[in-house]
Amino acid sequence: MSRKDRLEDCVITMKSIVDKGSSETETAVKIILFLFRKIFHYNYLCTSYYFMDLKTLKDTATQVRRDIVRMVHGCQSGHPGGSLGCTDFLVALYFHTMKHNPSFSMDAKGEDVFFLSNGHISPVFYSVLARSGYFPVSELASFRKLNSRLQGHPATHEHLPGVRIASGSLGQGLSVACGAATAKKLNNDNRFVYSLHGDGELQEGQNWEAIMFAAHHKLDNIIATIDYNGQQIDGPVSKVMGLDSIKEKFTAFGWDVLEMDGNDMEAVVNTLALAQTHAGKGKPVCIVMKTEMGKGVDFMEGTHEWHGIAPNDAQLAQALAQLPETLGDY
């Protein structure tokens, strides 16, 4: 990201802080904290915003949800449902848990890496990457447009910083995570490999080969999360091809399994921290993450209908009324 882009991003955020109409002292404190984060974040390879409190993480998630519905509305296509459901997880991961560097390098030596396997939820991924400093927030406006780096499904040939795999075709992310985890072990790099997968995506057979591989090779540096929203493109997962207990299946395959409410920021932060303590003990770690598809926009919640359609103008207004601007719109 160029210095000019960073400056523009800072201006957008500071304008939003000032516009909030808080007291002068409160506004000054927020600006100082914001600048501190920016400087700290851009200059050091760090556990990015490890000092971010829960309120700031929740505010960030609200802004990311705004970004998601605006992006999908802007091009009248895309996947808001899963994106909204996984927002808290991705915000916690990028703004709290992972040690990562927005001055992106494909190798990620000494860094944590994340692979989005359910690539259709690209709106949340792109928003979190932009808001972490990988590329300008203003670029979110180009989502799914011709010649944009932000294609509907992430792809490496677009050279978008932060994207390490193409993931439109479901079922492949865990295999890549196994490769990266093996490479990290061979290189004595003790950072983690995180991945995210849909529950419907688990119907793809390649996953189960990777699940066996990871356990057999004791890839205990993998923390794979399943977005257990119970929905997929055609309806409830239980009706399309049920999974029964994901926990029991992964346990039977030799994984260590944790469960969490993926729409409770505190639970997400704490469970990710717990997962790190489970790692390194000879078993890969799976987090079964219960989420609500469409979380944060009432008329999108609890149904597969919003898996992959865009809101119209009136629906956008209705959605945005439920998601206050917290960091500044792009």
Ligand X SMILES: Cc1ncc(C[n+]2csc(CCOP(=O)(O)OP(=O)(O)O)c2C)c(N)n1
Minimum separation from the CB atom of position 1 to ligand X (A): 29
Residue 304 C-beta: closest distance to Mg ion, Å: 8
- 5: three-class secondary structure by DSSP: helix
198 touches Mg ion (CB under 5 A) = yes
What is the secondary structure of 19-54 as a DSSP string? HT---HHHHHHHHHHHHHHHHHHHHS-EETTTT--H
284 counts as binding Mg ion under rule CB under 5 A: no
Burial of 243 (0-12, 13-18, 19+ CB in 10 A): middle
Count of residues making up the chain: 330
Note whether 173 binds ligand X by CB under 6 A. Answer: no
In the complex, what is the shortest distance from the CB of residue 167 to ligand X, in angstroms, rounded to a whole number?
Answer: 9
State which residue, 17 or 69, has the beta carbon closest to ligand X.
Answer: 69
Q: Give the residue carrying structure tokens 């760090």.
A: 46
**Where does this chain touch Mg ion (CB under 5 A) — which range of 13-21, 39-47, 221-229, 259-267?**
221-229
Report the nearest approach of Mg ion to the CB of residue 142 (Å): 27
Q: What is the DSSP string of 199-242?
A: TGGGGSTHHHHHHHHHHHTT-TTEEEEEEE-SEETTEEHHHHH-
Least distance in angstroms from the C-beta of 302 to ligand X: 12
Give the dihedral sign, CA 50/51/55/60. negative
> 111 contacts which partner out of ligand X, Mg ion, none, CB within 5 to 8 A by kind?
none
CA distance 243 to 208: 12
Of 206 and 318, which has the nearer Cβ to ligand X?
Answer: 206
From residue 213 to residue 242, the character string flagging contacts with ligand X as x (rule: CB under 6 A) and all else as - is --------------x-x-xxx---------
122-131 helix and 54-75 helix, angle to the nearest 10 degrees: 130
Query: Interface mask (CB under 5 A) for Mg ion, residues 229-258, using x and -?
Result: x-xx--------------------------
Smallest separation, CB 293 to Mg ion (Å): 7
> Do 263 and 201 meet the contact criterion of CB atoms below 8 Å apart?
no
Determine if 169 is a binding residue for ligand X (CB under 6 A): yes
Residue 121 tokens, joined? 């939820």
Q: Which is nearer to ligand X, 98 or 202 (CB)?
A: 202
Tell me which residue of 164, 239, 256 sits closest to 199, measured CA to CA.
Answer: 239
Residue 118 contacts ligand X per CB under 6 A? yes
Q: Work out how close the CB of 318 gets to ligand X at its nearest, in angstroms, rounded to a whole number.
A: 21
- Which residues are CB-contacts of 314 (< 8 A; sequence separation ≥ 6)? none
Task: Say whether residue 152 binds Mg ion (CB under 5 A).
Answer: no
What is the separation, in whole angstroms, between the first and last Cα of the chain? 16
301 lies in the site for ligand X, by CB under 6 A: no
Among 74, 119, 200, 284, binds Mg ion (CB under 5 A): 200
Q: Looking only at residues 182 through 201 of this chain, which bind ligand X when binding is defined by CB under 6 A?
A: 198-201
By the criterion CB under 6 A, which residues form the site for ligand X? 81-82, 118, 120-121, 168-171, 198-201, 204, 227, 229, 231-233, 293, 307
